[in-house]
Amino acid sequence: MPEQNNILGTMPMGRLVIRMSLPIMLSMLMQAVYNLVDSLYVTQAGDGAFLALSYAYPVQLLMIAFCVGSGVGFNAMLARRLGERRQEDANAVVLHGFLLYLACWGLFLSFAVFGAGFYMRQCTATEAVAVQGTAYLRICCGLSIGICVQFPCERILQSTGHPAGFMIVQGSGALINILLDPILILHWNMGVRGAAIATVIGQIAGGVIGLGLLWGIRREFPIRWGGFRVQPAVLGEMCRIAAPAVLMQSLGSFMSLGLNAIFTAWSETAVWVLGVYFKLQSFVYMPVFSINNGLISIISYNRGAKERKRIRQAVSFGMLTAVSVAVFGAAVLWVCAGPLLVHGFHAAGPASVSGVPALRMTALAFPIGAVSIILSAAFQSLDRSVFSLLIALLRQLVLLLPAAYFLVRFAPQYAFLAFLLAELLTCFVSLTLAFGLRVEPPVSDHGTRAQSGGLDP
């Protein structure tokens, strides 16, 4: 397609934002559904079982952070080699990528063997919860070879122009997991162990399907293992690119760990409700982050094309869409908090009483958080990545954890307002940084910038 006909520069902005965001949104929502269904079945095995999953959640987030972050380095190097038509070098990147994911599995396996029990006993003094959580983590971490094969397969399919393969790999694994959950958790009465086994079987199935899809494109992109030798320079470059992405992805895990520790000092019922919140908030924030990801490409392209008007349109439409999604999600959670807790998560006793106002407090933060997330996309696209990092740190650690600690200690009935307080302060910082932000064209090949006027997005 000729450059002047590129949809990023010509398609009406509303349609373009939706078109760029929708595939990412569907993929992320698929994972959210699978996580929710998994949790709904586990709650039927008892409050202790779901509480064990709540304590295990930060470790799962950390595993995903390593896999996603490693994929950033892998994908960046592979796409560049393919764009430069360096087939042999691209093959070397693929092999080193699989080696890096093998190292990730070794790390997860080590935690399963040596760290799972210790970790759970630091989280809770309730022996039954610790035992269930330990069993869950040992299975999910120890048998995580599936996810460590699935991720590089997805990245190779993306980089070689087969985005549908990404959906097939993720969707097949999630579907198998959902089908196995009621059988293993309820019918065979395996509880959290059944949930863990269903998870790893789904991941292994996804990895096998991914390898099958790679075999199907072997003529287009053959992967040759013969004569492979480790090249420290390739592995080092991949790790250097991946490290910041791993750090960014890990923030959610550290946030969850910190909140679990703070709320445990108050009551394990609060941790249980917090676990419900993390499962439900995905359905609001994942679409918002999908819009964020779509905007990065749109803004970056139009920045290079010096189309300041389209940049303003992209930010405005993205903001309107994201905030609308967040308001709708907040309204649904506010109205349906009770039925969701009682009928969905089988809450009883204190959890059903305190859970409703707690979830409603968290819902108030959704629209505010959407503003910061969309501005973060603009910062990333306009070479202000440090602003984006600052927003992530403020939202998930720097403001949230102190606010939660203060409220739990002095006004525990309002502890879940910590999310709203953190989002309000972060939004203020985000808007302050965005005020007067000017669009500069990218640096040219000669190290200079093309002249252009400014833009207050």
pLDDT tens by residue, 176-203: 998 999 999 989 999 999 999 999 999 9
Q: Is the pLDDT of residue 341 over 80?
A: yes
* Cα Dmax for the chain: 68
Alpha-carbon distance 349 to 273, whole Å?
12
* The pLDDT value given to residue 441: 55
Domain end residue (candidates: 197, 217, 251) = 251
Tell me which of 251, 285, 302 is where a domain ends: 251
Q: What is the value of pTM for the model shown?
A: 0.81
285 and 319, same domain (yes or no) = yes
In this structure, the answer to whether residues 272 and 214 fall within a common structural domain is: no
Residues 205 and 289 in one domain: no
Asked if residue 272 and residue 359 are part of one domain, the reply reads yes
Question: Residues 81, 214: one domain?
Answer: yes
Residues 334 and 208 in one domain: no
Residues 12 and 123 in one domain: no
Least confident of 43-47, 342-346, 390-394: 43-47
DSSP code string of 233-265 = HHHHHHHHHHHHHHHHHHHHHHHHHHHHHHHHT
- Residue 13 pLDDT more than 60? yes
30 within some domain: no
CA dist 38 and 182 (Å) reads: 9
Domain boundary among 251, 283, 317: 251
The conformational region for residue 341 under phi > 0 = left, psi -120 to 50 = alpha, else beta, is: alpha
Domain that holds residue 232: 44-251
Query: In terms of domains, do 19 and 103 share one?
Result: no
**Residue 124 placed within a domain:** yes
In a domain, 137, yes or no: yes
What stretches of 84-230 show up as alpha helix (H) in DSSP? 87-110, 116-123, 127-142, 145-159, 163-181, 191-216
Task: Give the phi and the psi of residue 2 in degrees, each rounded to 5.
Answer: -60, 150
Question: pLDDT per residue over 152-164, tens digit each?
Answer: 998 888 777 776 7
Residue range 399-425, pLDDT digits in tens: 999 999 999 999 999 999 999 999 999
Residues 163, 54: one domain?
A: yes
